[in-house]
Amino acid sequence: MPASSLRLSVAVSLALVVCGLAGCGTVNEKLASGMGEYVPQWAGGLPANAPPRPGTAKYDAYMREQERLRSLPAAERAKLEAPAGQAAAPAR
């Protein structure tokens, strides 16, 4: 095999590897944003009490509820945030 043919095949192989890696990077970027919601919590996924993603209808409702809770007095907010079956800590 002549030297020029060898150089050409190396150059073509290198170009294919570079293009392949660049393609994987863009695919993984798009998959990572959506697939994180489907990974179980034990495998490093989102916790059960994570807020919804911005831009969804659930996120808008979540933000409205957070704003409503923020406008409540602290005593009422503590009663609502206490787990069911447990009374809120008495104020001193």
Same domain, 34 and 55: no
Residue 23: predicted pLDDT: 66
The tally of domains found in the chain comes to 2
Residues 77, 79, 85, 91, CA torsion sign = positive
Same domain, 56 and 42: no
The answer to the question of residue 87 being in a domain is: no
pLDDT category at 92 given cuts 50, 70, 90 is very low
Residue 30: predicted pLDDT: 65
Calpha distance 69→86 (Å, rounded): 19
pLDDT category at 74 given cuts 50, 70, 90 is confident
Same domain, 29 and 56: no
| Per-residue pLDDT tens over the stretch 17-64 | 877 776 666 666 666 666 767 777 788 777 878 888 888 889 999 999
Residues 33, 34, 39, 41, CA torsion sign = positive
In terms of phi and psi (left: phi > 0; alpha: psi -120 to 50; beta: otherwise), the region of 89 is beta
